[in-house]
């Protein structure tokens, strides 16, 4: 069972719950986020190639067609919304692209300070599997700010570190609603992406931990905070595979003891 991510990613949850006002969109010629590919790759780089679903969902771990924070030729902060739609439409197995506009809260030092209009696109993988989301603010050039591919496959922390190097931050947190859940967020801040997992049983931090959440936002922690209002006290500096303290996120019920996240050395 996949558990809905909690308050730390409430910005993205809001996106999923409040898409409105679907409309047509236009595309423009690609002028940013040029694709590059490694030599002798076992997976085809052509957007028209026949790929298995697993091949497609593992391309980001091989730098195909580009390295994060560029995903499938789309780079947050560089690629415009129209350019992104042009690229998205050429990705194998992407179907049923839908467009929407919604209003997202803007947070500041004193809490919510207003709202911003956001453009969004969603799609399916294949005929009927719900796909991901692209977000862009409609000011200026309407550049992409956030990508959630919503892959239906898992990968390991070891795979991500092997290709992209060490992460910078970790967010272990637990919360009690109807059941107590345990979540881990792994932030590769300089590469502009976040990996995560949630379970109903205590987790063990190890290199082969299974991850299913994958978000791309831009090459700094500040870029992530533009999209997801993460509280600073939840963010811990990554110090390798060691024990970390859980943060308590109080949603429905208070938790007396957050506990520790135990680690297993590689």
pTM > 0.95: yes or no? no
Q: Does 105 share its domain with 183?
A: no
**Can you tell me which residue has the tokens 């467009």?**
99
Condensed to tens digits (0 to 9), the pLDDT of residues 138-190 reads 776 789 999 999 987 889 999 999 999 999 999 999 988 778 899 999 999 99
Average pLDDT in the 221-226 region?
82
Condensed to tens digits (0 to 9), the pLDDT of residues 48-72 reads 345 566 678 889 999 999 999 999 9
pLDDT of residue 47: 40
Condensed to tens digits (0 to 9), the pLDDT of residues 127-145 reads 878 889 999 977 767 899 9
- Within a domain: residue 261? no
pLDDT band at 15 (very low <50, low <70, confident <90, very high): very low
pLDDT of residue 108: 63
What is the Cα–Cα distance from 193 to 169, expressed in whole angstroms? 11
As given in the structure block, the two tokens for residue 21 are 């006002």
Give me the domain span that covers residue 222: 155-256
The CA-based diameter of the chain, rounded to the nearest angstrom, is 56
Average pLDDT in the 178-207 region?
93
Q: Does 29 share its domain with 100?
A: yes
pLDDT of residue 57: 85
Q: Does 39 share its domain with 134?
A: yes
Range with lowest mean pLDDT among 18-27, 101-110, 114-123, 185-194? 18-27
Using alpha carbons, list the distances in angstroms from residue 214 to 25, 29, 146, 155, 178: 26, 28, 11, 10, 25
Q: Does 122 share its domain with 189?
A: no
pLDDT band at 252 (very low <50, low <70, confident <90, very high): low
pLDDT band at 12 (very low <50, low <70, confident <90, very high): very low
Condensed to tens digits (0 to 9), the pLDDT of residues 101-110 reads 888 776 666 6
* Torsion (CA) 160, 153, 54, 74 in degrees, nearest 10: -60
Q: Does 23 share its domain with 135?
A: yes
Domain boundary among 97, 120, 148: 148
Q: Does 66 share its domain with 125?
A: yes
Q: How many domains does the chain have?
A: 2
Q: Does 246 share its domain with 160?
A: yes
Average pLDDT in the 200-222 region?
92
What is the Cα–Cα distance from 95 to 79, expressed in whole angstroms? 20
pLDDT of residue 17: 27
- Within a domain: residue 49? yes
Q: Does 185 share its domain with 108?
A: no
- Is the pLDDT reported for residue 193 higher than 60? yes
Q: Does 108 share its domain with 173?
A: no
Range with lowest mean pLDDT among 37-41, 156-160, 258-262? 37-41
- Within a domain: residue 1? no
DSSP designation for 177: S
Q: Does 133 share its domain with 34?
A: yes
Range with lowest mean pLDDT among 43-57, 61-75, 198-212? 43-57
Q: Does 185 share its domain with 129?
A: no
What is the Cα–Cα distance from 261 to 172, expressed in whole angstroms? 7
- Within a domain: residue 264? no
Mean pLDDT (the chain) is: 78
Length of the chain: 266
Residue 166 burial (C-beta neighbours within 10 Å; 0-12, 13-18, 19+): exposed
- Is the pLDDT reported for residue 14 higher than 50? no
- Is the pLDDT reported for residue 21 higher than 60? no
């Amino acid at each position: 069972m996949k558990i809905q991510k909690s308050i730390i990613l409430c910005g993205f949850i809001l996106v999923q719950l409040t898409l409105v006002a679907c409309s047509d969109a236009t595309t423009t010629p690609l002028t940013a986020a040029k694709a590059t590919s490694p030599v002798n790759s076992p997976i085809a780089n052509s957007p028209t190639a026949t790929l298995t679903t697993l091949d497609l969902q593992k391309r980001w771990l091989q730098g195909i067609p580009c390295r994060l924070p560029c995903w499938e030729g789309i780079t947050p902060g560089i690629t415009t919304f129209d350019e992104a739609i042009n690229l998205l439409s050429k990705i194998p197995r992407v179907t049923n692209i839908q467009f929407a506009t919604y209003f997202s809260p803007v947070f500041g030092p004193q809490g919510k300070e207003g709202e911003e209009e956001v453009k969004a696109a969603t799609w399916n993988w294949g005929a009927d599997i719900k796909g991901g989301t692209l977000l862009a603010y409609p000011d200026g050039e309407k550049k992409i700010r956030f990508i959630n591919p919503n892959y239906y496959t898992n990968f390991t922390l070891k795979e991500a570190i092997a290709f992209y190097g060490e992460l910078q931050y970790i967010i272990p947190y637990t919360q009690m609603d109807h059941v107590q859940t345990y979540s881990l967020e792994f932030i590769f801040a300089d590469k502009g992406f976040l990996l995560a997992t949630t379970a109903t049983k205590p987790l063990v931090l190890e290199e082969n931990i299974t991850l299913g959440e994958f978000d791309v936002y831009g090459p700094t922690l500040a870029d992530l905070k533009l999209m997801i209002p993460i509280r600073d006290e939840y963010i811990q500096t990554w110090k390798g595979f060691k024990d970390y303290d859980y943060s308590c996120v109080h949603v429905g019920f208070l938790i007396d003891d957050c506990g520790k996240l135990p680690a297993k050395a590689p």
